[in-house]
Structure 1
Amino acid sequence: MEDHSQFRLLSERRFLPFFVTQFAGAFNDNLFKNALLLLITYSAGGLFGLSADVVVNLAAMLFILPFFLFSAIAGQVADRYEKSTVIRWIKLAEVAIMGAAAVGLWFGWYEVLFLLLFLTGVQSAFFGPVKYAILPQALKEQELVGGNALVEMGTFVAILVGTLTAGVMMKAAVPGPVIAVAVALLAVIGLIAAVKIPKADAAAPELRIRFRPLQETWKLMAIARDNHSVFLSILAISWFWFLGAAYLTQFPNFAKTHLMGDETVVTILLAIFTIGIAAGSIACERLSGHKIELGIVPIGSLGLSFFGIDLFFNTPEQPIPSDWWMIITDAHYRQVAIDLLAIGIFGGLFIVPLYAFVQQETPPATRARVIAALNVFNALFMVISALLGMVMLGFFGLSIPEFFLVLSIMNLIVAGFVYQQVPDFALRFVIWVLSHTLYRVTHHNLQRIPDNGPVLLVCNHVSYMDALVIAGAVRRPVRFVMDHNIFSTPVMGGFFRLAKAIPIGPKAKVPEIYDAAFERIDEELAAGQVVCIFPEGKLTKDGEVDTFKPGVEMILQRRPVPVVPMALRGLWGSFFSHCGGPAFSHWPRRFWSRIHLLAGHPLPASEASAETLETKVKALRGEQP
């Protein structure tokens, strides 16, 4: 898996038809919505006796309202029925809606198009839960990040292309018929692709569908709150949509007022921001090592705030007239473009692991309803974003760059709250940064570690970085058994407690800590966790694997679980090892060193004696210390 690109999924039937379906749907939604808004603004000049500005905001409300009204029912349907069938029915409805829309566009029936915009929102609300709920059934766990990255990339590219296409088609001599043909054709393409989506069994076939929008929406919230980490991840995703909506809404006035740009500047800003999100989404799989890596999420949130603040300082105080080419070529304007690109990139890094985490941690029987709750929160946060923009820019009189600065500071506060509530984010962040900056780690056969159930890892002990290297490489959370003196250090002690490490000491000196350690190890294994021990009991002083102590046998006598032998290569000689003297006593001689972590075949407890495990670890390590 680690040698394959996520893009290979685009050549496989279990993913490609679904990708085409969701891409065509997002493209069509945005083409139709933006074309209708442009037609109302430039052709109709308003409807129902209202001004164009009011009608445009009314249209935006009509599109988002169905997410509040129908997400709960959509989640029930996606959990209750076979998912590929649900998608085909949704796409068939899209064909009917867009067929009617084509007629309305052709003849200029704008009042009818308003109703159809609402129905388009209904169709999108029903597609959202099944869209994300089907991915864990179609993909392997190690493909989930890559699959979500492609979906997010496709969604934002489709939004961009749909928006730009609407603008281009408006330049046609008779735009209505041209747009009519396009929306009808895209709907048919989506349906054809949906027919090819493989079957995905119903997760809760006995579920009773209840058509009570308000009551069922409230129940969705309760289901989403069942898992605290998942619920906060949902809020974090919705916070990103809050930020994204705030930026996108302000682009036209930002370009006009603060960059003195023409309409092409709005287009280039939108393109840069969207391309950034797509690029960040795609980068997630490589940065995460093909696993759901929460450590990337804080990186994303820090980048969002840093470049948002940088955008405030780089906005010209005395702008000159500009077009899209000047945004790219002029040094000062180019810095604005770089900031927006970076905000998009870090936004992609922020949301993709969160989407994958929500999908993985939610029980299959309620997954679609949890995704539906996510859609409700997304819609709610986007509405609040619009209201905040009106208050900040209108009532308080902030400039748009000042508003961006406020958003960046708010993002730091929200991120701090989420990471305080869910320490795993901060823990994985520290592990990811240390294990990806000090060393270049190559993994070998880590798929041999079982995906579920209790397992004991045993490894040679070379340096004080061993646990961080292993924690950064293994997909599952690992409970490390470590010396109680190191566990009690003033600064690192808090980090080790956060990581749920297990302190241990010599039985002769600290019998209470010794006994408590074996109790904790047994409890963690009984709970189905991964526990890692270093059976040598201390760091090697000569680079060789020392004798394994019998503690591993005592653990397995109490709790017979599979044992995976592991070996580290390349850490001997590092600043954190005892090579050339005690660790930390000599200057670092190398950085970005290449090291290797190897896993052997799992052994049953009955065959995992200390002597056998020592032999296995030595064989894995080979001649290179």
Structure 2
Amino acid sequence: MKSNLFKRGFLSLVMAQFFGAMNDNILKAVLIFMVINGAWVGVLGDSGPSIVTFCFTIPFILLSGFAGQVSDRYSKRTVTWWVKSVEIPIALIAGYGFYVQNLWMTLFALIALTCQSAFFGPAKYGMIAELVDDSDLSRANGSINMLTNLSVIIGTLLAGAVSDAYCPLPYRAPAFADRQVNEGFDEFTLSYDVPSLREGKEKIAILKKLDFKNAKMRAKENGDENEAEVLDVDFYREPLVQRNEDSVTQSQKDKYKLAVLNPFGELSLPMIALVLVAVLGWLASLLLTPLPKGNAQLKFDYNPFSTYIETIKEMSQTRLLMVMMAWGYFYLLAGIALLIVPEYSEIMDITRKNASVLMGVLGIAIGLGCGVAGLISGHKIMPRLIPMGALGLIVFFFLLAFVTPPVLGMKAESYEVLFSSVSLFIFCAGFSAGFYIVPLQALLQSLSPDGERGRFLGTANGVSFMFLTLASLVVLVLAPAFKGAEYKMFYFCSGLMLVGAIYFLWAFRGTGLLVGSGESGLLLNTNVHGENTVHDTLSEDEDATECVTEEDSLSGDRVSPAEATENNELSDKGGDDDAKEKPDC
């Protein structure tokens, strides 16, 4: 039988998720670049990236519990179509915010986009279990995680390119200022020669020393009547982007004695990118195959925290709670790492585009790690991969903190070795992350009750974003202590992973979970409503005899929706034969 991984339903879900994750990362990354060293540098202070991340995570925390109920009450296909339709006007608002250079409008759009994504999350993860067989869960999760990370890579790389085109970094160029006296005012006319800029040699600004209000160039005399040292030039078209003087360091001024030239930006480019990707995601949602209707009798609980509390209490009756916490703990570390990597544009004195390349390396590595973990798992869930991934994260986070940034006067060859080392360690950390998260995600889907999978996965999603928010708080607190050496926060990440790994190994002791013994299935798959169901996904012996009671079969726990149609067609012809083949229980 052809695997459901290659059928229209699952492929459409993958593409809808692909474009959704890409749009989230384009908007978030461009915003972070702008508050670090772009159009809005200094507006949010040193905590700018953390504030952007707060705006990105808080909606997930407040809405994931309710979103899980929505995906249980309605068809997950319908939920997906609605959230993808809403994404298009949100992208227009975000793009317009960039066009008029309004930070607050753009932040509002980011919050709206994350609200939309919060409703997509439980529907997406619950849909995987409805579209594929239980035996394909690991491969399905590995595939969707790999392609999601590919979309994150593309989105991050696009964000770097869009940022550089939207708000180009200043050029440092040889220039001189001619001093003239006109009607009692000192005037300086700047001339420069930069072939890479549009106009080449051009007089671009006149400064009246007694009228700084309208100045587009700042200069000071060097003692010569006809020369001046140029401090800064800004010739954006209206409305002007206000830049922070501190973006040009004194060492740069002293070393180069050059003009700092800010070329025109492509203000409409973010809007074009965001809207185009949103439309592609909406088109993908139209191709989703029909899915079972939800529970129309389900009553909504509008208090997100009561939903979380109730679900966590039910999870605590099984090992599912610890699985969810181990999954969420990863997002604490990932959140810290994702806030550190963009800082490499300052740490290593590289362009935003090159900094986004490092983010791309991280995304490629996580994607490959997820894909390989899915291939290794095959038709089973292999939790033994989790400690392997944790060990890799401990080692490579430590090495990232150990590598020192470049120093003034460093040779080009040494700099290339340094940049390559950072890239390699980021890649290895990301690859290890794939081994850590794929088994945990598959366990969450497999162990959640079929009729309430959306609520359980919505709670898990909300908890993961609580950890992401905690990551922002951690960076906010630690950033002043690591000012100028943010990369050393990877020591903290390595230590956190070590502590977490030791704790979760202790918590799972005696269950056989991490070595894949058959008994682990019984410990983990006790249904939260008291029904005894046994899943074979954790068993090492594929030929093990299964005993399933009539009550279990009727509950639907043993048969995936993808198999239902085929089983119904065969039931009349093969019922007697099947009965003969059933083992005695």
User: TM-score over 0.5 for the alignment?
Assistant: yes
Q: Which residue of 1 aligns with 2:333?
A: 243
Q: Which residue of 1 aligns with 2:40?
A: 45
Q: CA deviation at 1:309?
A: 3.0
Q: Which residue of 2 aligns with 1:578?
A: none
Q: CA deviation at 1:377?
A: 1.4
**In 2, Cα distance between equivalents of 1:272 and 1:115:** 29
Establish whether residue 27 from structure 1 lines up as the match of residue 9 from structure 2.
no
Establish whether residue 368 from structure 1 lines up as the match of residue 436 from structure 2.
no
Q: Which residue of 1 aligns with 2:140?
A: 147
**Aligned 8 A contact 1:84 1:198 in 2:** yes
**Against the structure 1 CA distance between its residues 39 and 310, is the aligned structure 2 distance closer, same or farther, given a 3 Å change threshold?**
closer
> 1:415-434 alignment to 2 at 5 Å?
415-423=501-509, 428-429=514-515
Equivalent of 1:113 in 93, 106, 115? 106
**Against the structure 1 CA distance between its residues 367 and 109, is the aligned structure 2 distance closer, same or farther, given a 3 Å change threshold?**
same
Q: Which residue of 2 aligns with 1:159?
A: 152
**In 1, Cα distance between equivalents of 2:449 and 2:33:** 43
Q: Which residue of 1 aligns with 2:391?
A: 302
Establish whether residue 186 from structure 1 lines up as the match of residue 265 from structure 2.
no
- Give the aligned residue type for 1:277: I
- Give the aligned residue type for 1:334: S
Establish whether residue 208 from structure 1 lines up as the match of residue 299 from structure 2.
yes
Q: Which residue of 1 aligns with 2:434?
A: 348
- Give the aligned residue type for 2:67: A
**Against the structure 1 CA distance between its residues 56 and 334, is the aligned structure 2 distance closer, same or farther, given a 3 Å change threshold?**
closer
Work out which structure has the larger RCO, using CA pairs closer than 8 Å and 6 or more positions apart in sequence.
2
Establish whether residue 336 from structure 1 lines up as the match of residue 422 from structure 2.
yes
Q: TM-score, normalised by structure 2?
A: 0.67
SS at match of 2:302: coil
**Against the structure 1 CA distance between its residues 424 and 163, is the aligned structure 2 distance closer, same or farther, given a 3 Å change threshold?**
farther
Equivalent of 2:130 in 137, 140, 143? 137
SS at match of 1:176: coil
Q: Which residue of 2 aligns with 1:539?
A: none
SS at match of 1:151: helix
SS at match of 1:233: helix
Q: Which residue of 1 aligns with 2:93?
A: 100
**Aligned 8 A contact 2:50 2:339 in 1:** no
**Aligned 8 A contact 1:264 1:324 in 2:** no
Q: CA deviation at 1:359?
A: 0.1
Q: CA deviation at 1:326?
A: 7.2
**Against the structure 1 CA distance between its residues 402 and 76, is the aligned structure 2 distance closer, same or farther, given a 3 Å change threshold?**
same
**In 2, Cα distance between equivalents of 1:379 and 1:323:** 42
Structure 2 gap ranges (5+): 166-263, 519-532, 553-578
- Give the aligned residue type for 1:199: P
**Against the structure 1 CA distance between its residues 358 and 391, is the aligned structure 2 distance closer, same or farther, given a 3 Å change threshold?**
same
**Aligned 8 A contact 1:21 1:190 in 2:** yes
> 1:581-620 alignment to 2 at 5 Å?
603-604=581-582
Q: CA deviation at 1:390?
A: 3.9
Establish whether residue 127 from structure 1 lines up as the match of residue 120 from structure 2.
yes
Q: Which residue of 2 aligns with 1:380?
A: 466
**Against the structure 1 CA distance between its residues 270 and 89, is the aligned structure 2 distance closer, same or farther, given a 3 Å change threshold?**
same
**In 1, Cα distance between equivalents of 2:541 and 2:283:** 41
The number of residue pairs the alignment matches comes to 448
Q: CA deviation at 1:221?
A: 3.2
**Against the structure 1 CA distance between its residues 224 and 454, is the aligned structure 2 distance closer, same or farther, given a 3 Å change threshold?**
closer
Equivalent of 2:494 in 361, 385, 408? 408
**Against the structure 1 CA distance between its residues 194 and 430, is the aligned structure 2 distance closer, same or farther, given a 3 Å change threshold?**
closer
**In 2, Cα distance between equivalents of 1:214 and 1:364:** 22
**In 1, Cα distance between equivalents of 2:265 and 2:382:** 50
- Give the aligned residue type for 1:279: L
**Aligned 8 A contact 1:273 1:341 in 2:** yes
**Aligned 8 A contact 1:84 1:197 in 2:** yes
Structure 1 gap ranges (5+): 433-451, 456-469, 480-521, 529-600, 609-625
Q: CA deviation at 1:66?
A: 0.7
**Against the structure 1 CA distance between its residues 244 and 192, is the aligned structure 2 distance closer, same or farther, given a 3 Å change threshold?**
same
- CA shift digits 1:505-542 (9 cap, x unpaired): xxxxxxxxxxxxxxxxx9x99999xxxxxxxxxxxxxx
**In 2, Cα distance between equivalents of 1:209 and 1:359:** 22
Q: CA deviation at 1:360?
A: 0.4
**Against the structure 1 CA distance between its residues 113 and 318, is the aligned structure 2 distance closer, same or farther, given a 3 Å change threshold?**
closer
Q: Which residue of 2 aligns with 1:65?
A: 58
**Aligned 8 A contact 2:47 2:476 in 1:** no
Equivalent of 2:288 in 190, 197, 214? 197
Q: CA deviation at 1:184?
A: 1.4
**In 2, Cα distance between equivalents of 1:384 and 1:107:** 32
Equivalent of 1:474 in 542, 545, 556? 542
Equivalent of 1:12 in 7, 10, 15? 7
- Give the aligned residue type for 2:8: R
- CA shift digits 1:89-117 (9 cap, x unpaired): 11111122223334444444443332222
**Aligned 8 A contact 2:159 2:356 in 1:** no
- CA shift digits 1:273-295 (9 cap, x unpaired): 21110110000122113311111
Q: Which residue of 2 aligns with 1:273?
A: 362
Q: CA deviation at 1:400?
A: 4.4
**In 2, Cα distance between equivalents of 1:237 and 1:102:** 34
**Aligned 8 A contact 1:298 1:426 in 2:** no
**In 2, Cα distance between equivalents of 1:344 and 1:602:** 50
**In 1, Cα distance between equivalents of 2:148 and 2:411:** 27
Equivalent of 1:359 in 445, 459, 477? 445
**In 2, Cα distance between equivalents of 1:288 and 1:265:** 35
- Give the aligned residue type for 1:236: A
Q: CA deviation at 1:121?
A: 1.4
SS at match of 2:28: helix
> 1:566-581 alignment to 2 at 5 Å?
none
Q: Which residue of 2 aligns with 1:534?
A: none
SS at match of 2:164: coil
Q: TM-score, normalised by structure 1?
A: 0.63
- Give the aligned residue type for 2:17: Q
Equivalent of 1:83 in 76, 84, 101? 76
- CA shift digits 1:439-496 (9 cap, x unpaired): xxxxxxxxxxxxx8699xxxxxxxxxxxxxx9634397x99xxxxxxxxxxxxxxxxx
Q: Which residue of 2 aligns with 1:175?
A: 266
**Against the structure 1 CA distance between its residues 339 and 102, is the aligned structure 2 distance closer, same or farther, given a 3 Å change threshold?**
closer
**Aligned 8 A contact 1:262 1:323 in 2:** no
**Aligned 8 A contact 1:24 1:190 in 2:** yes
**Against the structure 1 CA distance between its residues 36 and 269, is the aligned structure 2 distance closer, same or farther, given a 3 Å change threshold?**
closer
- Give the aligned residue type for 1:337: S
- Give the aligned residue type for 2:332: F
Q: CA deviation at 1:401?
A: 5.3
**In 2, Cα distance between equivalents of 1:73 and 1:254:** 38
Q: CA deviation at 1:18?
A: 0.8
